[in-house]
Structure 1
Amino acid sequence: MTASVERKTLTTAQRRALLATPAGWIACGLGSGLAPVAQGTFGSLAAILPWLLLREVSLPMNLVIIVLGFALGVWACGMAGRALGVDDHRALVWDEFVGLWIALLPALLAPWWAVVIGFALFRLFDVWKPWPIRVFDRRLKGGLGVMVDDVVAGVFAAVVLGVVRHLLH
């Protein structure tokens, strides 16, 4: 079986391996990555719920939480990837959580439309993977590889969202 086929669907054994550990639960976005299709989109949608709590804390605290979430993701996605036998399976969506939280930093004190635009921009950059996101996605492996490309996609989306907010004010 090729890696691309393995990345698309979870076998029963892979699903059991993923859900058998706290790392697996975290890596699959508390279950959101188990959606039968569009796992990244479902993971990003699920990330909005904790982000609503992040909206209530200061920017420095948001940054601390994002850094801790990144470190947690490197560990959890690395462990889960080894359990699945695939470096970056579609079910591993904790990277979407952290990437979206970064993308929505300019929306912390913004109206609802900024959240929608930030979400759309993050998904665009995550799927499109322009340079250097594609380079990170191809070259980095393990938990770090899972996390870094979405962090960079989140940064790209945050920059564009920040510019859009600036232009609209």
Structure 2
Amino acid sequence: MPPASPDPARRSGARRPGWRFLLAHPAHFIAMGGGSGLSRLAPGTVGTLWAWVAFLAMQRLLSPAAIGWVILAGLPIGWWACTVTARHMRVADPGSIVWDEVIAFWTVLWLVLPAGLLAQCIAFALFRYFDAAKPGPVRWADQLFKPRDDAGKEAPRWAAAGFGIILDDLVAAFCTLLVIALWRAFIQ
């Protein structure tokens, strides 16, 4: 009998994502941030960096109102993509899904900009802190749609899991914006 894999996705029989998986379905491509979620090191951070670059490109092509509409449309599309991808991977919240970081950080940038590079770096650092450390309300949102059965294993309802993937990052974005707003209120 082979030794148990340390990777929970492999133990559960889930697919290990690669380029073939990424390109197998449009939902995978969206949920994995165009491939940024395939990073073996800190996929959430890589996805947030990709979101930052993509936002700066959007900013050159679209008005702030149009970017707002892109973000608004990205929420239900992302929910669908995260749901499908998580279901195909058989994991309620796989680390390779980074659309949640993308849409949440786009929201932060949309509401913070125009701002200089330092302010954008601070927004990035705050968002990554709230997303990774999951203090208080972010942890609550992260666990809200991850029901557990009696044995303690995740028993995902896929649509709820897809929504939950996005929700905690939106709460992290809110916390980021709250800190920035408080900082600006005291500075000015």
- TM-score, reference length from structure 2: 0.78
Q: Say yes or no: does 1:117 pair with 2:122.
A: yes
Segments of structure 2 that go 5 or more residues without pairing to the other structure are: 146-159
1:46 to 23, 42, 50: 50
Q: Which stretches of structure 1, 4 residues or longer, exceed 4 Å deviation after superposition?
A: 1-4, 10-14, 56-59
1:76 to 75, 81, 85: 81
Question: 8 Å contact 2:47–2:99 — kept in the other structure?
Answer: yes
Q: 1:145 to 1:2 in 2, by over 3 A?
A: farther
The Cα of 1:138 is off from its aligned counterpart by 1.2
Match of 1:152 in 2: 171
Question: 8 Å contact 2:123–2:176 — kept in the other structure?
Answer: yes
Question: 8 Å contact 1:114–1:165 — kept in the other structure?
Answer: no
Q: Percent identity?
A: 36
- Distance, in Å, in 2 between the alignment partners of 1:161 and 1:7 is 39
Q: Which has the larger radius of gyration?
A: 2
Q: 1:2 to 1:12 in 2, by over 3 A?
A: closer
SS in 1 for 2:94: coil
Match of 2:155 in 1: none
- TM-score, reference length from structure 1: 0.86
Give, as a single letter, the amino acid of the residue that structure 2 aligns with 1:42: V
Question: 8 Å contact 1:103–1:156 — kept in the other structure?
Answer: no
Question: 8 Å contact 2:17–2:38 — kept in the other structure?
Answer: no
RMSD: 2.7
Q: 1:67 to 1:107 in 2, by over 3 A?
A: same
Match of 1:128 in 2: 133
Give, as a single letter, the amino acid of the residue that structure 1 aligns with 2:168: D
Question: 8 Å contact 1:106–1:161 — kept in the other structure?
Answer: no
- Comparing both structures, which one devotes a greater share of its residues to helix? 1
SS in 2 for 1:165: helix
Segments of structure 1 that go 5 or more residues without pairing to the other structure are: none
Match of 1:21 in 2: 25
